[in-house]
Structure 1
């Protein structure tokens, strides 16, 4: 049973790779380093000051594409999201950290690198995104939110234990020095049927 809990925790940690926060350990309940939540509908929203910051209701709601995104920015944001996913799946830490904000809102950059390196060492993970949609774009704040239905296939390298998980994720990007970088991530796993 502990193996299943460890794998579930690892899946959450990998899904939320850009969500680690050490600003206040007393307020860090629900972090990737805590035990896995018992309620699969629990929102893990590290760094969120207000859930209304996310462009849709995590527990359901309609997904609508933002209509105010200039075509050039849309291409750049979606390309940054693809690189974020591809770098993680390739387990290339340098490439992955190049798409992570150095001034994140939802995690600590240095802690993120440590957590992801550990995950790459202990697990083989493939994250597959479907229905990738820019749901919110704010030119004045230089931020964008990308929604996706996410499938995570995880295998622990030492034991061969496997876990598959589906959920919905919003990845928040901030434009820094002309590049779109991940600044926070919101994820909710689907309940088992």
Structure 2
């Protein structure tokens, strides 16, 4: 028992010593301090710029220059169908816009979640500034940026809310169609 108490005191002293070590807080999570950065940054909320192509937190949104006109039309049309299906609460049309092998969600979980949301809320999404920001013909991937306003009204209480945010919807080409493969969203803080 005495050994356990001594060991506990030693561990407590080490933890206390580590906590009181004074360092420059501005370098936390930097390459030089040996500390891992937090999983989700205060600005990008975990959005990996290598996956999305740019930071969602602001700045200028530039259209990808290498998008063939025909593909651009098909990609924007797929994005419009995705938004339209959501607004009409058409679960089958909505699920039809999704990739058969999505990267950031599970199809069965998405169906269950969206059915639950459609059952509980009246919803509408308005997309503005729709821009294809990245296009890779070799991999068959396109990233569509949009500023979104989502209005929600809870059916049971009548409570209404509105959320604004920035979203990048990643599409992959499956056959002749462009399908939603992953979604990155950052809500605007007011």
Q: Under a length normalisation based on structure 1, what TM-score does the superposition of the two structures give? A: 0.74
Residue correspondence of structure 1 range 30-45 to structure 2 within 5 A = 43=45, 45=47
1:154 Cα offset (Å): 0.6
SS of 2:169's partner is: strand
Please give the alpha-carbon distance, in whole angstroms, between the structure 2 residues aligned to 1:152 and 1:112: 18
Of residues 161, 174, 177 in structure 2, which corresponds to 1:176?
A: 174
Q: What's the secondary structure of 1:150's corresponding residue?
A: strand
Structure of higher CA gyration radius = 2
Q: Say which structure is richer in helix.
A: 2
- Structure 1 residue 56 displacement after superposition: 1.7
Question: What is residue 167 of structure 1 aligned with on the other side?
Answer: 165
Q: Which runs of 5+ in 1 are unaligned?
A: 1-28, 31-38
Q: 1:64 to 1:84 in 2, by over 3 A?
A: same
1:25-174 aligned within 5 A: 43=45, 45=47, 50-174=48-172
Partners of 1:74 and 1:53 in 2: CA distance:
20
CA contact (8 A) 1:135 1:146 kept: yes
For the 8 Å contact 1:93–1:117, the answer to whether it is kept is yes
SS at 1:43 equivalent: coil
Q: 1:87 to 1:43 in 2, by over 3 A?
A: same
- Cα distance between partner residues in 1 of 2:165 and 2:74: 24
- 4+ residue runs of structure 1 moved beyond 6 angstroms? none
Is the Cα–Cα contact under 8 Å of residues 44 and 57 in structure 2 kept in the other structure?
Answer: no
RMSD: 1.7
Matched length: 151
Contact 1:56–1:62, Cα closer than 8 Å, also in 2: no
* Cα separation, 2, equivalents of 1:177 and 1:44: 31
Distance 1:42 1:123, change over 3 A: farther
Superposed CA deviations along residues 106-141 of structure 1, whole A, max 9, x for unmatched, are 110111111000000001110000000000000000
Aligned-pair CA distance for 1:55: 2.0
How far did 1:93 drift? 0.3
Gaps of 5+ in 2: 1-38
Provide, for residues 44-85 of structure 1, a one-character-per-residue CA deviation record: whole Å limited to 9, x for no partner: 65xxxx432112211112100001000000000000000000
Q: Which has the higher contact order (CA 8 A, sep 6+)?
A: 1
